[in-house]
Each structure stands twice: as structure tokens, then as C-alpha cells.
Structure 1
């Protein structure tokens, strides 16, 4: 019997900064054991052996453009990707974010599954017209149902099966293996062994709304353990304002600003609670990292965060500091048995909805995949 010939998938990413290297790994993993070979192409960023090894692909190409070079019509990028696409008989392309979707559609004649990681990508009329022009070979995925619904609002008239949800996911075993022991993590962050630690990880930016987090922590503080502190891991343009706010609230002594911490997920064992106060987070990978570490969660009840946390953590209305305070007090009052039950519920949520295996099953069940990929 003649073995079935391997097929090829082209994955096109804007770059590998921040979480996008792991996004490349996530999508490459969808094809493991399926008879496909994955070529991942990075539009921007210098060639890197570590990146090539970390994205889980059979082949990796670095086009090496700067952000400035891919403004405007992006003719150079289109020509470069066309050369890559000509080397293999690719079945289809997965492109992350609008710019790679644009380039992939113009450089190739392939069906393109465009993955959107943010809100508002089709608010501009020009982008809506572009998507309509290529609608016959374009399907879209949102990293949460909140992002999917935003895409559907911006592109009315598109069939629902052409705009679907595929969640981000996490390699739980690898994340747990990478965790530092709690004592070591606390020492590295300058935290005391007996501190009760609420943590936030992210840019100090209006979108992350750490101002509400500071207000909520201040309101909760009289009912939290005497050793309670709030630690913010990240840097950004609001650092000065947030420091001043902590002073005004009288909690400067209980708030720690660590700055940017490389591989911050390794330190989650240091935390007693994790709080995400973001304004309409598209998904919230940091929530999955906290769940993998077994850290009880509180997050805003909007954007993709609701889909991650609802049923296994606390939710509060966006910008509602008193409601956030009440949630922190409830987390502080959890018994050891309740914390263990919370950790078990989060582990099950990760397995059932946000693991590589669960998302791979969801991907291969999508109508767009049945139409374009599995034929």
C-alpha cells in the first residue's frame, strides 16, 4: 500500500516577541500526527536558533523585515513570502494578525485562516473592504468568543462558520515544571515568607487598569491578612502615576513595583492570589499561567477574561473597585481545602478547554477546516 504523501502548511507570523512565539508553537502543534509538515515564517525579527527551536515547526524562515519596512503597501514582504510559498505545495496558510493576513492573501493564492488576537482589527473601512474582496478564501479565528463576536460585528453578512473561536492554550506540564519553588520565587521578588501576596503581571498601561486594582486593594486591605501586599510585575508609562496613587491611598508600604521580570510565569508560586483588572482583555494568557500554578483568580467580567475565569475564579465589573475589594477578601478567606478545590477546578478547566489536546480537537471540528484543510 502506497503511504499517503505528506501535506504542507504555511504559518505566517508578524514576529516572535512577547507571547507570539508560543502562539506559533500552539498552531504548529495542531498538526502533530496528522501527516502535515509546518513551515513557520516570521515577517519581522532577526534569525534566531532559539526561536527556530521553540516554535515547534518542521521548517522556520525569517524574512528579517523591520517594522518600518512593512508599513504601507508592503511590496517587499509580499515578494519575499511569494518566494517562500513557491517552494512547497502548501494546502493552506495560517496567518496571525491583520498585516500577515494582508501579505499572505496578496502573495499567495492559498486559502488563509486569519487568527486575530485583539479587538478592533476590522473597524477601519479599508480593512473591511479588503476582507470582503478576499472572502472566498479567507476565514477568521478569534482567540476568544469576545474577539470572535467583535469580528462578526465588524463584518456583518459573513457566514458564522467563517468567523469562529479557537482559544489560546498552554502546555500545563511544561509551565508547572518551570515554576520556581515558592520560597525561591519570593526571595527573588523581595517578598517575605509570611506575606499574603496579591499579584498582577502586565504593562503599566491604561488598558490594564492597575488604577482600579490599587483602589480595590486599598479598600480590601483592612480585611486582608496583616501581612498583605500587592506586587505589580511590569513596566510602562504609568509607573509614576501609579506610585503617586499608592501614596495618596496610603498603601505605598504594601505595594511593590518590581519592573519587568523576565519569564514572569516562573514566579507564580510566590502568589496567594492573582488579579487582572484589564479593560476588555482579548484573552489573557497570564490567567492560564496563574491557573497552571494553582493561584486563585480575580478578573474583570469582560472581554476574553470572563470565558477563562467564569466558574473557577472571581469576576468583578470593569472599573468597580469596591467589587474587586470584596473578591479579594473572599480569596483571602479561603480555607486550605477550598484552595485545593479551586486548584483542582482550574486544572480541569485547563485540561478541558485550554490544553493543546482540547484545542486541537476543536480545530479539526471547525467547518472552515473541513472545507479547506481536511479535503
Structure 2
């Protein structure tokens, strides 16, 4: 059943999309869900709880209307009564049929501030570990459906809400607009020039916060172990900033590879330069999904990732995975990739990780169908 069929007879009805903010990947998350309604009778109004008004964000949201509530993080702690009042006013302003809310705070506000069916999208593990959150979800379960960005996130929620029907807790993968991402990515030569990298080096790339969750320490150890087998002049390039920068630099020095590890700091629109890499390595210890893997694959770059969280669902190739914290296996994988034409991931992004694939998947979910039909005019 198509989106148009779900909304038959509902011309000019609206979908309310409610987001905590637009920092980092969450602007694109808003875009991903807005385009699900492209070509349907629904219009999309995206509301950002935090964040200053921005014309760039308006354009990037792919929505018919964008509203910035402009709360600070401090203002949305506690009961969030002001946000609930604001959402109640917005929900009453037009004929909304459905609300899509990203992360727990917007789900909480959407359920208390409206009578709309709510699809809650979860981007992290552990959101329903707390008993209070389980009780809240159970209170509103008749008009709440939950989506995880990977099966790993979905299964985490199902374990916490064990008496929920499975069709009310489902997966809808994160995805990219492949053509747009590829159009934004510059050539290998231009990327290396921008990042001040040698054109002839063999480069291992990584992008992420310098944080324990990303476990770049294992990446540095694995690279150091592999370096004698890698092409002369090989480099490990890490884009990102964070509190572990000094510790990671000290580790590289301790292992004697400081000259071969480049810390580039925060790079604006980092995915634009992914073609600078010969392989992309993700060592995160519990990545809910791993959007950077899709962006690297769109650039035609082989990827390696830890066998945990949502990454195995994206990679789907056993030889491209390695156990969490296993620097020796990572070193072996790097050596193999550098010495052959082995491409563990086929070029191109699988359909379920594209806008087109997600559209069909979203509108085939029984829980989505049930919620969409519950608010027929």
C-alpha cells in the first residue's frame, strides 16, 4: 500500500515531525523522514525543539514548513511544560494526521502535547532501560509505535518492552540520498589536497568524536601493528575532536607511529572528502547504526567495522568485520586490504539504505498502516 493510498481522501493533511535539534546527523534524519511523504497528499511541518532559526536548516529539512521553538538545553529539562504548550498550539493549528518524533524527549512532549498517533524514532541504545520510561510508553502504547534505526536498536527496545506486539517496535534503517551525497563528494586528488595529505600515500580513514564510544585507541593499535606490512608511507587519518585527543596522541607516540597518524580535528562536511581514503575503519563499541559507513560506501571506499551494534547490518560481509577491541584482527584486515584489490563491500549502497527503499519499507509496516488509518478525516 502506497503513501497516497494510506492518505486517500486526506488532501492537504499534514504530518508533524518533531525533532530535538538539528546538530550533527539530525538535520539529515529530519530530511529522511520528510521525503517519505513526497508525492502523497500529506504536507510536512518539521518542528525543532532546540536550535536558532536557520535558512540553511529550513532548506535541508525538505519540509513544507519549518518551525524553530528555540529552547535551550536547560529549558527542556524536567517536565518541559513550555514545550508541551507550544506543541499543543502547533498541533491545533491545522489538520495533522500523524506525528513523527525523534528521540525520547520529543516523543514525551508529542504524546503529552497532542492527541496524535506518534511514531517514535530511536537513534541510540538504552532509551527504555529506565522503569519510568517503560511506564510512560505503556501508558500511551495505543497511539505509539517505535522505530529503531537498526535491528540492534529495535531488539534493545523489544527487550525493554517485552509485552509489546512486535509490529509496534520495528526497524527503519537510516539512509542517504545517494546521488546527492556522491555529487557532494570531491575527487581523490581534490580531497587529499584539501586535507593536506600526500597524493601517493595509502590512507586509512576514520571520522568520529574522540570519545571512548568510538574506540580510536583500538584503531591506532591495529594500525601500528599493521604498519610494517602496509605500503611505505601509509597514514592513519582521524577526523574529529573530543576529550581524548591528548590521550590518543600520547598512545600514537608510545607506539612509535606519531609521524604516521594525522589528527585533522573537526572537518566541516567531512563526507565530502571520503574519497581521500583507501579504506575506512570504524572501531566504535556500540554504534547504533553507522551513517559514516554508508557515506564511505557511496564514495566507493572499502569499509571495515567492529562486529557489534548496527554496523554488521550495514556491512553484511564477515571478512570486513572484526571483534570489538581486537587490534590484532583489525591489523590483519588492514594488511589484506592494502596488499590486494579486495573490496569487501560491493560498490553502491543497498536499496534499504536509500530514500527509495525506505519509502516502500515505511509504508509496508503494519504499525504505520494502523496509525495512519487511525486518524482518517
TM-score (norm 1): 0.96
Q: CA deviation at 1:312?
A: 8.2
Identify the residue that residue 368 of structure 2 maps to in structure 1: 369
SS of residue paired to 1:30: helix
Please give the residue correspondences for 1:2-17 in structure 2 after superposition, counting only pairs within 5 Å.
5-17=11-23
Contact 1:312/1:346 (<8 A) preserved? no
Q: Which residue number corresponds to residue 141 of structure 1?
A: 147
Counterpart position of 1:323:
329
Q: What secondary structure is seen at the aligned counterpart in 2 of 1:373? A: helix
1:40 aligns with 2:46: yes
Contact kept? 1:52, 1:60, Cα under 8 Å? yes
Query: For the residues of structure 2 that align with 1:117 and 1:81, how far apart are their CA atoms?
Result: 22
User: Would you identify which runs of 4 or more consecutive aligned residues in structure 1 move more than 4 Å?
Assistant: none
Contact in 2 for aligned 1:296/1:313 (Cα 8 Å): no
* Cα distance in 1, alignment partners of residues 319 and 276 from structure 2: 18
- The 3-state SS of whatever aligns with 1:93 is strand
Tell whether the 8 Å contact from 2:16 to 2:100 is kept in structure 1 after alignment. yes
CA contact (8 A) 1:195 1:227 kept: yes
Q: What residue in structure 2 maps to residue 97 of structure 1?
A: 103
Q: Which whole-Å CA distance do the structure 1 matches of 2:178 and 2:111 have between them? A: 34
Q: Partners of 1:4 and 1:133 in 2: how far apart?
A: 29
For normalisation by structure 2, the TM-score amounts to: 0.95
Mapped to 1, the partners of 2:32 and 2:339 lie a distance apart of: 36
Per-residue deviation, 1:6: 2.6
Selected match of 1:164 from 166, 170, 180: 170
In structure 2, the gaps of 5 or more residues are 1-7
Q: Distance in 1 between matches of 2:323 and 2:195?
A: 30
Distance 1:369 1:120 in 2: 23
1:309-351 CA distances to partner (integer Å, 9 max, x unpaired)? 122861000001101111111111232xx44xx56x241xx24
CA distance, structure 1, for counterparts of residue 63 and residue 318 of structure 2 = 33
Q: Which runs of 5+ in 1 are unaligned?
A: none
In 2, Cα distance between equivalents of 1:333 and 1:161: 46
* Higher RCO (CA 8 Å, separation ≥ 6 residues): 2
Distance in 1, matches of 2:319 and 2:61, equals: 31
- The CA deviation at 1:33 is 0.7
Deviation at 1:354, TM superposition (A): 0.4
Does 1:240 pair with 2:246?
Answer: yes
Alpha-carbon distance in structure 2 between the residues aligned to 1:313 and 1:353: 21
Please say if 1:72 is aligned against 2:71: no
Do the aligned residues in 1 keep the contact of 2:10 with 2:42 (CA within 8 Å)? Answer: no
Q: Tell me the distance in 2 between the aligned counterparts of 1:312 and 1:318.
A: 14
Aligned residues: 367
